[in-house]
Structure 1
Amino acid sequence: MEAYPDIEIYLATARLEALNAWLGDTLDTPPLASAGKNRWRTQGQRDGHAITILLVAKAADGFASLWFDSPATPWTTDADCARDAAARLGCEVRCSLGGWQPGDDPDTFLQVLPDGQETTIEWPDSGQ
């Protein structure tokens, strides 16, 4: 499978020190820096490729959006990243199930819990 052109996951809790440790270990990033109200940004790298990373607090139903603007991440899909994030950050993580195409249900997401449990949910209307 070809790597997604970018990766986006949603974090139930976004503790900056835990995020900075994970991002530093995974993508050799400096700490996230303020980039405006409820936004933080940093620049990572992997195999010589730059990876812009943006965190937006309370982006959707109280979840923070974490976006990696590069196909050079260590994860092939959003789900791969969500699994890694849930395990490393110890929080619930959500992501889309794949690339959206016309006719797809845009509200179907993968919910990954820190214990590795995964469920397909309808979000935001799922009440989850």
Structure 2
Amino acid sequence: MRQPDIEIYLKDADHNAIASWLSAVLGPCSEWRQQGQTYKCDIDSAAGVIPLTWLPKAVGKWSSLYLESDSTPWADDLACARAAFAALGVEIRCAPGGWSEEESEETADRWIRVSADGEEEITWHTS
């Protein structure tokens, strides 16, 4: 089932490399707008406009990449994480499936790690 949006976390990621990768895969990005610590742009893709949010160091060394659309090439966070790792070569973390506020904290700490070591489910306490 396709997720309504995509969010992945990238370790020590280079903002310019991510912008280049997304532009090549999805289409050109508008000028970045800084709002506090957050950066936003709109990607003009063949499927329509995709709002993108980049939050550097959202969790320690981990930056958040949030694509607010179900019109990406990826059906879920894990598919995007795999593509990001293949393109960028940095460790990626994502939720194992859709997530909602109603889930327990125990479930919220379950993550998938995508790295040179492969994929594995981990416990990651982000708060």
TM-score tier, shorter chain, comes to 0.7 to 0.9
Partner of residue 118, structure 1:
119
Aligned-pair CA distance for 1:16: 1.8
> Percent of pairs identical after alignment?
33
**TM-score, normalised with respect to structure 2:** 0.86
Q: Which residue of 2 aligns with 1:108?
A: 110
Measured after TM superposition, the shift of residue 100 of structure 1 is: 2.9
Please give the secondary structure, in 2, of the residue aligned with 1:42.
strand
Distance 1:123 1:79, change over 3 A: same
**1:116–1:97 CA distance, 2 compared to 1 (3 A):** same
Q: Structure 1: which 5+ runs fail to align?
A: none
* Equivalent-residue separation in structure 2 for 1:78 and 1:65 (angstroms): 12
TM-score by length of structure 1 reads 0.85
CA distance in 2 between counterparts of 1:89 and 1:31 reads 21
Structure 1 vs Structure 2 CA RMSD: 2.0
Residues matched between the structures, number: 123
Structure 1 segments of 4+ aligned residues over 4 angstroms from their partners: none
The whole-number CA distance in structure 2 between the counterparts of 1:34 and 1:51 is: 15
Report the Cα distance in structure 1 between the residues aligned to 2:65 and 2:12, rounded to whole angstroms: 11
SS of equivalent to 1:23: helix
User: Bigger shift: 71-80 or 11-20?
Assistant: 11-20
